[in-house]
Amino acid sequence: MPRAHIIGAGIAGTATAIGLTRAGWDVTLHERATHPEISGAALGMWPTAITALDQLGVGEAARAAATPQRAGTVRRHDGTPLATLDAEHITRHPGDHVRLIARRDLAHILGTALPAGTIRYDRAVQGSADDVARGRVGAETGGTAGGSALADVVVVADGVFSAHRTALLGERYRARYTGQSALRGRVAVVTHEVSETWGPGRRFGVTPYRDGTTNWYASLDAPRGQRAAGGEVALLRELFAGWHDPIGQVLDAITEDDVMRHDLYDVHPHLPTYVAGRAVLVGDAAHGMTPDLGRGACEALVDAVTLTRCLTGAEGRPRAGDVDGALARYDRLRRRPTQRLQSLARGMGRVAHARRLVGVRDLLLRVAR
């Protein structure tokens, strides 16, 4: 039976574990954290991601936990529409919807699809780049080091700040700060429109959720690590004062405990390969991108099913032979498409936060509606 070690139990790592386990592989998933994902942040699932979830056997559970998002609007701060985005038109298939799902719900659905004991929490993976590339990793649990059996494949899924990516491919490929900081949360305010509002150096978005609450997010230009001395809520109310409804209602309702803040990073420059020996990168470790297109989690799921298909063949059975060829196929299928999305996402973030030629930008968006 072929064996895989997976480093990181986020969306990419857990989804890959499901795919390989269902295909008959012996899988061990190492996770540094001590418990599953509990964040309530929302993720957009495009139809390609829902298809990937179907292939992993959890599509119906994901649909039941998600809220369809049929259309959205980009607006100016005074509420003037700049562009309308119809999900069915964008996906090119009538009846297809972008669905909104809480990250913790997706993590639960994925985690419970694995056999008990597959995910090993509180396990920091050790080993040189050469060891990982050869399929051998060690894991440290609670400060105690232990060995691991030689694997046919090591899947590196430890996120945008992946230490293993840097070790395998070099210091040049560390995550890079984009110059933008994001704040987000959920509040008990009813809204009826998916919208994102653009202003100079900042923006604000709202998406209604299925339980009558609203997911909100904001991003702003800021030095790395900067935090509001007077609190994030006061900063948000100052930056977005006078912006159109329902932004005001959302800001009135939030408290400091509602706000999560993190700086935005992406993987840049683009990686020359997603494969190093028997090690293969998936998800944010391979192509961490800004959230501007809402595609990061989606592409992680597509990575998982593509890698599974490459490693198991059309018959869907475990296959340990020709791993090198399988990983090369995965790299060929996934690297260029995901790197295009990385570039598009970064470009969209810059356009949304533009401080110069804003009138020209807005005019072009309105003409393109």
In a domain, 89, yes or no: no
> Of 38-42, 66-70, 90-94, 137-141, which gets the smallest average pLDDT?
90-94
In a domain, 87, yes or no: no
Residues 286, 159, single domain; the answer is: yes
- For residue 51, what are the domain limits? 3-68+101-175+267-351
Residues 274, 181, single domain; the answer is: no
Residues 207, 236, single domain; the answer is: yes
Asked if the model's pLDDT at residue 278 lies above 70, the reply is: yes
Looking at residue 357, the DSSP 8-state letter turns out to be S
Q: Which residues contact 321 (CB under 8 A, 6 or more apart)?
A: none
For residue 35, the tally of other CB atoms under 10 A from its CB is 8
Asked if the model's pLDDT at residue 49 lies above 80, the reply is: yes
Q: Which residues contact 350 (CB under 8 A, 6 or more apart)?
A: none
Asked if the model's pLDDT at residue 71 lies above 70, the reply is: yes
| Closest to 304 in 3D by CA, of 13, 16, 23, 3 | 16
Residues 164, 305, single domain; the answer is: yes
Rounded to an integer, the average pLDDT of 61-88 is: 85
Whole-number Cα distances in Å, 16 to 65, 154, 195, 322, 365: 21, 11, 33, 19, 38
Residue 333 parent element (H or E): helix 323-352
Residues 234, 113, single domain; the answer is: no
Residues 58, 133, single domain; the answer is: yes
Q: What is d(CA 239, CA 252) in angstroms, rounded to the nearest whole number?
A: 13
pLDDT value, residue 288:
98
pLDDT band of 368, cuts 50, 70, 90:
very low
Q: Which residue carries 């790197």 as its tokens?
A: 339
The total number of structural domains that make up the chain: 2
In a domain, 182, yes or no: yes
Q: What is the CATH number of the domain that holds 43?
A: 3.50.50.60
In a domain, 86, yes or no: no
pLDDT value, residue 171:
95
Residues 147, 54, single domain; the answer is: yes
Residues 323, 198, single domain; the answer is: no
Instruction: Give me the chain's average pLDDT, please.
Output: 89
What is the tens place of the pLDDT at every residue in 124-144? 888 889 999 999 887 665 554
In a domain, 81, yes or no: no
Residues 51, 169, single domain; the answer is: yes
Q: What is the CATH number of the domain that holds 254?
A: 3.30.9.30
pLDDT value, residue 189:
92
The residue type of 100 is L
Q: Count Cβ neighbours within 10 Å for each residue of 157-166 and write b for 16 or more, e otherwise.
A: bbbbebebbb
| Alpha helices (runs of H) in 23-126, residue ranges in sequence order | 47-55, 59-65, 87-91, 103-112
Residues 26, 119, single domain; the answer is: yes
Pairing between β-strand 3-7 and β-strand 26-30 as defined by DSSP bridges: parallel
In a domain, 75, yes or no: no
In a domain, 330, yes or no: yes
Report the SS3 class of residue 3. strand
Bridge partners for 154 per DSSP: 5, 279
Q: Which residues contact 354 (CB under 8 A, 6 or more apart)?
A: 200, 361
The token duo for 16 is 């890959």
Determine the Cα angle at 149 with ends 145 and 152, to 5°.
Answer: 135
What is the tens place of the pLDDT at every residue in 240-275? 999 999 999 999 999 999 899 999 999 999 999 999
Residue 211 half-sphere exposure toward CB, CA atoms < 13 A: 11
In a domain, 47, yes or no: yes
Residues 24, 129, single domain; the answer is: yes
Q: What is d(CA 307, CA 333) in angstroms, rounded to the nearest whole number?
A: 9
pLDDT value, residue 269:
95
Residues 63, 19, single domain; the answer is: yes
